[in-house]
Amino acid sequence: MILEEFLDKRNTLIHRVDDVPGWSLDNEQGCQIAYQFVNRLMTVDESVRDTLTALLVVWQKEEDIKTPVDHMLGDIDTYRKIVNHTFFEKE
């Protein structure tokens, strides 16, 4: 599950970075491994953030909650698709 991966990678980066096999900022190979780890964490973070934002936006619109940033949210259908795909549509 993506949230589990996010939490694991985040906690590893913050608390146990030495547990990442090959991680080193002292040589090219270690830096490449560090880059790959952090890049994956950023990708997972983006997915988690987008999903939670979509869930919040759909809930906000359905409850008719107005915020100062409503104009920045764009098309509600985009967010609704993310929420439906993540939480309701199963293949």
Backbone angles phi, psi at 26, to 5 degrees: -100, -10
Between residues 63 and 18, the one the model is more confident about: 18
Q: 46, 62 in Cβ contact below 8 A?
A: no
Q: Would you say the pTM of this structure is higher than 0.75?
A: no
CA distance 79 to 25: 39
User: Tokens for 31?
Assistant: 């830096």
What average pLDDT does the chain have? 86
Task: Assess whether pLDDT exceeds 80 at residue 73.
Answer: no
pLDDT band with cut points at 50, 70 and 90 for residue 55: confident
Cα angle 83, 85, 88 (rounded to 5 degrees) comes to 80
pLDDT at 89: 61
CA distance 30 to 9: 17
pLDDT at 1: 82
